[in-house]
Amino acid sequence: MDLLDLLFPKKCVGCGRWGKYVCRECEVGMWEEEQICPVCGRPSRYGEKHKYCQKPWSMEGLSCFWAHEGIARKLISEAKYRYYYDYLGELLVDGLSFLDRPEFAKLREFLGTRPVVVGVPLHPRRLRERGFNQAEVIARQLSKRFEIFDLRLEVETGLLKRIRDTGKQVGRTREKRLEAMKGAFVVNSKFKHKNSNQIQNSKFQLTKNVLLVDDVWTTGATLSECVKVLKQAGVKQIWGLVLAR
């Protein structure tokens, strides 16, 4: 046990037991059983986009760890609004062990292309208020954990910029969320070729693929807008990865 654990002992958000943020007994109820197509939202065995869902500027696939309910919902909320960075880290330490499950086979294939890991950015105002970007924390933790699988993936947190503060999306319909997200993101100009809108950066010399990371998928409005901006700038393939849906 380290000094931080002595000063600030961990307590399970589910049952109150000391030792971990989520004890083994409570962790059992956190698995997401079904992956979905990121375009239509219908079930998809591997989280792949359906062949008949050929919407422009869409993701190739989406992988989700947990259902956004119960303990998982509370844990992610605690991490986001109470500034407990290590909640997210601990969540991923155990969570990545189920990458060996069959439904994540296509995600593993995509990771084999050595994509650049990009977290969905916060607006600068929200970042100042919160003090950290939960998607960036997740992206960095994922990059570290992927090394267990002999995958060394670069993280590029400055690639996307959020130029409009869209406010909290809770309670909005899907249509209003989509409308609010229009024009909210741009590719950072320092990554663009001076004579075009295309990305030109050393980390993209060997791959044109991006693993796009966020904490929660609700309607998909946020990730969809990020995908559109990235693909318009030359990114070839994008796979979304979220903690919960």
pLDDT digits (tens, 9 = 90+) for 45-95: 899 999 999 888 889 999 998 888 888 888 787 776 655 556 666 666 555
The CATH number assigned to the domain with range 34-244 reads 3.40.50
**Residues ≥6 apart with Cβ < 8 Å to 53:** 37, 39, 40
3-state SS class at 223: helix
pLDDT at 140: 85
* pLDDT(243) > 50: yes
The listed range with the strongest mean pLDDT (156-165, 184-193, 197-206) is 156-165
pTM: 0.86
Closest-CA residue to 12 (of 74, 97, 77, 89)? 74
Name the segment(s) of the chain with CATH classification 3.40.50. Answer: 34-244
| Range in 20-24, 42-46, 89-93 with the lowest mean pLDDT | 89-93
Let me know: does 212 contact 230? Beta carbons within 8 Å. Answer: yes
* pLDDT(96) > 70: no
Please tell me the total number of residues recorded for the chain in this structure. 245
Mean predicted lDDT score pLDDT of the chain? 79
pLDDT at 80: 67
pLDDT at 206: 42
- The span from the CA of 211 to the CA of 117, in Å, is 5
Alpha-carbon distances, residue 17 vs 137, 155, 171 (angstroms):
26, 35, 33
Q: Where are the alpha helices (DSSP H) in the chain?
A: 3-7, 24-27, 70-81, 85-95, 105-111, 124-130, 134-146, 174-181, 221-232
Let me know: does 226 contact 120? Beta carbons within 8 Å. Answer: yes
* pLDDT(4) > 70: no
Mean pLDDT for the stretch of residues 164-188: 73
pLDDT at 110: 94
| Range in 16-30, 73-87, 144-158 with the lowest mean pLDDT | 73-87
Give Cα 51 to chain centroid, integer Å.
23
User: 43-55 burial by CB neighbour count: b if 16+ within 10 A, else e?
Assistant: ebebbbbeeeeee
Let me know: does 76 contact 245? Beta carbons within 8 Å. Answer: no
Find the Cα–Cα–Cα–Cα dihedral 164, 167, 168, 169, rounded to 10°: -60
* pLDDT(184) > 70: yes
